[in-house]
Amino acid sequence: MSAEIGQWCLILAVLFAIAQGVFPLLGAARGIPLWMSVGRAAGRAQFLFLAIAFGCLIDGFIANDFSILYVASHSNSELPLYYRVAATWGAHEGSMLLWALILSVWTVAVTLFCRSLTLPFQARVLGVMGLISTGILLFILLTSNPFDRLVPMPPDGNDLNPLLQDFGMTIHPPMLYMGYVGLSVAFSFAIAALLGGTLDSAWARWSRPWTLVAWIFLTFGIVLGSWWAYYELGWGGWWFWDPVENASFMPWLVATALLHSLAATEKRGAFKAWTVLLAIFAFSLSLLGTFLVRSGVLTSVHAFASDPARGLFILVFLALVVGSSLLLYALRAPSIRDSAHYALISRENLLLMNNILLVTAAASILLGTLYPLVLDALQWGKISVGPPYFSNVFAPLMAPVILLAGIAPLFAWREASLAKVWGKIRWLAPAALTLGIITTALFWELKDIKVLAGLSMAFWLIGGTLLSLWSRVQLRSSVLEGLQSQSLSSYGMTIAHLGIAVFLVGLVLSDRHSVEKVVRLAPGDTAAIGRYDFIFKGIKTVDGPNFKAQEGLFEVRSEDQLITELKPQKRSYRVQRNTMTEAAIDPGVTRDLYVALGEPLDAGAWSVRLYYKPFIRWIWFGGLFMMMGGLLALLDRRYRRHKMDPLVTA
Amino acid sequence: MKTLILLLTLTGSSALFATEIRSFADPDKAARYDRLIGELRCLVCQNQSLADSDADLAQDLRNEVYEMIAAGQSDAEAIRFLTDRYGDFVLYRPPIKPTTFLLWGGPLLILLFGGVMAWRYARQRKPQPLSPLSEADQDTLERLKKTSG
Amino acid sequence: MRFLIPLGVFLVMVIFLAIGLSLDPRNLPSPLIGKPAPTFQLSKVEEPSQALTPESFRGRVILLNVWASWCVSCRQEHPVLLELAQRQEVPIFGLNYKDQLTAARDWLSKFGNPYEASGFDQDGRVGIDLGVYGVPETFVIDKKGLIRMKHTGPVTPQALEKDILPLVERLKQEP
């Protein structure tokens, strides 16, 4: 029964989405207040029905209703309850429904927090979101209906992909989607402003918090995904430059650029046309990511359901949404006038450089991701573009971004005095380099240029960030007063920039000094990595709810001190009949110890992968720092509702 | 469906074979071997390098690479061996040739394009020098100065 | 004018994505097309004391089919090959890839043997020389011993009638 209710709710939701898309936009164009006010009610109704539909699908999973095709394909009566609930968004149909649900959550948020916007502007924002939602819901109903029945009903289900039976993977998609879909708000604001001709600093001020929230979720989603790949895929990597990962990274880079350009647009009215284009790009890349993942045009390590019919639908949808936005942009952008004037040496221009570099990085990733497809389409041969390409291209683009981030906050808006800035940072470069040399020489080897460069850059960034905080604090009579006078968003920026430094340390050290060993170990054998001895104690069989596992026991000792016991597993899942490597990790601030079982060899011996990964956690700490910075900035007083001026209608 | 079956047959057989253990007398060769298998693509996997894959074919190809490196052949020779049989698809680092010029040069072109656009924009935004006052304005100014003085 | 650039770039991208939808990213063209088939010497599955080498089919247009008893989709194409063998239009040779000799023989006696002979490639070395990455694969080899076509995945009746047999007919006309 619940499947039919869900189905009907889905259909009702489409109808409300159409109403939300059509009436407010027409009303705003013709100046009919009643039509304009339809958006808010329709958006809320849409959310209600989507929530019920989603609830029905979850119910199908909880109740093991294998007469629903989607449940039968992705769940099993032996699957623990927690994973049954999470399986709801574990595959294509359900995750698209989650996408739609999250879009409606954002819609409701807009109806709640944007009440002080003028009615036409509100109507246009909700109208654009309604049209996007209509497309996605039609896609679900026509090509990927999660409520399709299966006749005859099978006795049991096909189980969830074991890779996804993991805590990190259950919350990764909702977080990532909150980010992807959240960018639709900034996008809708941009389109509404282009339609209404209200592209001013109030528009930028309104867009900023929404972009920030989406960016925070996106950051968190990517960090979770990377962490999951690290401990679940079993070979110790944390980023593979895989098309699916690139699909989430490109919007992140552009959203980061957007956050910075919005600051300039809000504070100084600078590069409005560019900012609006970035808002369009950011969400377009989210949609493109959805297309790449769902259409199967690219092969990826994360093998999801893919189907050309679905691909065609999303491609048409993508072409309509992005094509019409870019056309609107091409029509309206020439009339956008920037009022701001500023010198060549100014905060504005440094932000512009940051933007150029970040967007170039995103565009290069797009180029690398699509290039094999283009060559294939032209029948010029098949190639693979992998990690060596992306790291070669990415590193030279990011190095200047990091160097700029260290000093840009010291530059004044409008016109900065080079002499003044120089006075503040005279010692920064030598100090950073000296610290870099000392730490590298102390803990590693001085001839390791990459570590030296990476650590020096991290010190540069930390030093510059703290200097700029200090230079602002100094303006007040006492340090305490100075610290108190800083806005939360300036603290947010400080912490986010420090996060880049933390990330950089983790990246460089884990890349240069990880040790990997593949060894043959019989019970009682010892393998050594550096000062750590891994002693293989033996193997036993353990039972899980829907799998049987071979569990190894390893003692890790250092100078005869017991450090930890690690229990990696080799699981074989009963229903899906595949084996999964469940690595065992001893996490630490300065190093991870990582053991993964390979295959059984002769006489009770096993092949075992052992890893020593220095500072790898700093990679995710860095990401979390950036996220915390975003959160702090979000709490800034400026974004409280009553403080924000309404947009002026044109 | 076809690819699904293909996948099943391939992954099905892979579980039977063991991850092999390699050792080199020469640490330089070991480093080259590690780097090579990290940059070569496993053909039967979705998107994994030879180093990361436990698939049967990946193990065989690792074997080939190992023997070539151990026998003192160069990286280029090992890569030739694989591209002769499987094409450029096995290389995660695409070779530089006319069809990939745009791939390798693209990022620089994009950066230059962005830089030029930004430079032109930034120059327009420079503060305008104050335009000289017209004679009438000069007179007014002088008059105001006198009256206020 | 410059504001039209994003739209233009996007439209070009959409065209390529649309073409991309009709391509199979897993289908790899073989660099061996037009090149001589690798030399090998394998014992025959049917009669291990005899050897199978490229000389065995020199001067004839043949199909070389890579198969294994553990390969699920080989079962799927097997009836197609059996029927083709009966029509005697083109001789089929087999390459038994990474298999057990007894399992391979059982398989042939159970499902029928369409092959004039199958080479027993236990360690898969010949498979690597042929660029095999997924079993089953089928090669068309001409009279001079050059590889002219490679079909990846099970041979379907459609692929046979549309691509493989027409090519075989053309190659038979060549000197």
Q: Which residues of A touch C18 (CB under 8 A)?
A: 312, 315
Q: What is the pLDDT of residues B110-126, one digit of tens each?
A: 999 999 999 988 888 87
Is B69 part of a structural domain of the chain?
yes
Query: Is there a single domain that holds both residue B46 and residue B100?
Result: no
CB-based contact (8 Å) between B4 and chain A? no
**Is C20 near chain A, with CB under 8 Å?**
yes
Least confident of A124-128, A307-311, C32-36, C43-47: A307-311
Rounded CA gap, A254 and A285, in Å?
A: 9
**Contact between chains at B103 and A385 (C-beta distance less than 8 A):** yes
Is B106 found in the same domain as B60? Answer: no
**Contact C12/A at CB under 8 A:** no
Phi, psi dihedral angles at A51 (to 5 degrees): -65, -40
Of C101, C138, C119, C104, the residue nearest C39 (C-alpha): C119
Q: Among partner residues A308, A319, A373, which is closest to C14 by beta-carbon distance?
A: A319
- Whether residues A397 and B111 touch (CB distance < 8 A) is answered with yes
Indicate the pLDDT class of residue B130, thresholds 50, 70 and 90.
Answer: low
What is the rounded CA–CA span in Å between residue A323 and residue A327?
Answer: 6
**pLDDT tens digits for C127-171?**
999 988 888 899 999 888 889 999 888 888 888 888 889 998 898
- Contact state of B9 with C135 under an 8 Å Cβ cutoff: yes
Q: What is the pLDDT of residue A21?
A: 94
Same domain, B71 and B34: yes
Find the farthest-apart pair of alpha carbons in chain A and give their distance in angstroms, rounded.
Answer: 82
> What DSSP letter does each residue of A386-437 carry, written as one string?
-HHHHHHHHHHHHHHHHHHHHHGGGSPSS---HHHHHHHHTTHHHHHHHHHH
Same domain, B68 and B79: yes
Of B125, B22, B122, nearest to B69 by C-alpha is B22
Contact list in B for residue A235 (CB cut-off 8 A) is: 51-52
Q: Looking at beta carbons, which residues of chain C come within 8 Å of A280?
A: 6
Residue B3's contacts (CB-CB under 8 Å, 6 or more residues apart) are C24, C26, C153
Q: Is the CB of B115 less than 8 angstroms away from the CB of A356? A: yes
B89 and B60 within one domain: yes
The predicted pLDDT at position A116 comes to 82
DSSP A640: S
Residue C89's identity, in one-letter code, is: E
CA distance B38 to chain A (A): 9
In angstroms, rounded to a whole number, what is the distance separating the alpha carbons of residues A595 and A401? 36
Nearest CB neighbour to B85, from listed C98, C124, C128: C128
Q: Which residues in chain A touch residue C10, judged by CB atoms under 8 angstroms apart? A: 284, 322-323, 326
Q: Residue-wise over A523-552: b if at least 16 C-beta within 10 A, else e? A: eeeebebeebbbbbeebeeeebebbebbbb
Q: Which chains touch B (3 or more CB pairs under 8 A)?
A: A, C
B62 lies in the same domain as B90: yes
Q: How far apart are CA A579 and CA B53, in angstroms?
A: 13
Average pLDDT, chain C: 88
Question: Same structural domain for residues B83 and B11?
Answer: yes
Euclidean distance between CA atoms A270 and A621, whole angstroms: 33
Report the phi/psi class of residue A554: left, alpha or beta, with left for phi > 0 and alpha for psi in -120 to 50: beta
Q: What is the pLDDT of residues A197-230, one digit of tens each?
A: 888 888 888 899 999 999 999 999 999 999 988 8
Whether the Cβ atoms of residue C168 and residue C90 lie closer than 8 Å to each other: yes
Same domain, B100 and B31: no
User: Which residues of chain B make contact with A609, given a CB cutoff of 8 A?
Assistant: 19
CB-based contact A368 B103, cutoff 8 Å: yes
Structural domain of B109: 96-127
**Rounded-to-integer distance, Cα C106 and Cα C102, Å:** 6
Strands A547-558 and A526-529: unpaired
Pick C31's closest partner by Cβ from B13, B64, B87. B87
Measured on CA atoms in the order B16, A304, C74, C168, is the torsion positive or negative?
negative
Residue C100 near chain B (CB below 8 Å): no
Same domain, B50 and B121: no
Determine, for residues C20 and A297 on separate chains, whether the beta-carbon distance falls below 8 Å.
Answer: yes
pLDDT digits (tens, 9 = 90+) for B4-63: 333 333 333 333 333 456 777 788 888 888 889 889 988 877 678 888 777 788 888 888
Give the closest of A273, A295, A326 to C7, CB-based. A326
> Considering only alpha carbons, which residue of chain C is nearest residue B16?
C70
Q: Which domains does chain C have, with CATH numbers?
A: 28-173 (3.40.30.10)
Q: Are residues B87 and B108 in the same domain?
A: no
Distance from CA of C72 to the nearest CA of B (A): 6
- Do B76 and B118 sit in the same domain of this protein? no
- Identify whether B53 is part of a domain: yes
Share of chain B above pLDDT 70, in %: 81
Instruction: Specify if B134 maps to a domain.
Output: no
Amino acid B131: pLDDT: 64
| DSSP-assigned letter for residue A312 | H
Share of chain B above pLDDT 90, in %: 23
In this structure, are residues A462 and A431 in contact, taking their beta carbons and an 8 Å threshold?
no
Nearest-by-CA chain B residue for A382: B89
Please answer yes or no on whether A360 and B114 come within 8 Å at the CB atom.
yes
Q: Which residues of A touch C (CB under 8 A)?
A: 273, 277, 280-281, 284, 291, 295-299, 308, 311-312, 315, 318-319, 322-323, 326-327, 329-330, 333-334, 370, 372-374, 376-377, 381-382
Interface check C28 vs B, CB under 8 A: yes
The chains in contact with chain A, meaning 3 or more Cβ pairs closer than 8 Å, are B, C
C24 at the A interface (CB within 8 A)?
no
- Could you give the number of structural domains in chain B? 2
| A100 Cβ contact list (under 8 Å, min separation 6) | A13, A50, A133, A136, A137, A140
* Angle, CA C23 vertex, CA C21 and CA C27 arms, to 5°: 145
**How much of chain B is in helix, strand and coil states, percent to nearest 5?**
65, 5, 30
In a domain, B135, yes or no: no
d(CA A227, CA C66): 41
User: B84 and B119 share a domain?
Assistant: no
Q: Determine contact, residues A104/A16, Cβ cutoff 8 Å.
A: no
Which CATH number is B60's domain given? 1.10.8.640
Cis amide leading into A243 (omega within 30): no
Question: What pLDDT does A296 receive?
Answer: 66
The predicted-structure confidence for A446-482, as pLDDT tens digits, reads as follows 888 899 999 999 999 999 999 999 988 888 888 888 8
Residues B50-97 have pLDDT tens digits of: 887 777 888 888 888 998 998 888 899 999 999 999 888 899 999 999
Angle between the N-to-C axes of helices A201-232 and A272-295, in degrees from 0 to 180, rounded to the nearest 10:
30
**Opening angle at CA A186, ends A183 and A192, nearest 5:** 135
Q: Is A13 on the interface with B (CB under 8 A)?
A: no
Which chain B residues are within 8 Å of C123, Cβ to Cβ?
A: 60
Asked which of B71, B95, B119 is the last residue of a domain, the reply is B95
Give the residue ranges of chain A where pLDDT is below 50: 301-305, 642-643, 646, 648-650
Determine the 3-state secondary structure of B71 from DSSP.
coil
Instruction: Name residue A539's beta-bridge partners.
Output: A552
Is residue B113 a part of any domain in this protein? yes
Please name which of C45, C88, C40, C30 lies closest in space to residue C63, comparing C-alpha atoms.
Answer: C88
Q: Is C133 on the interface with B (CB under 8 A)?
A: yes
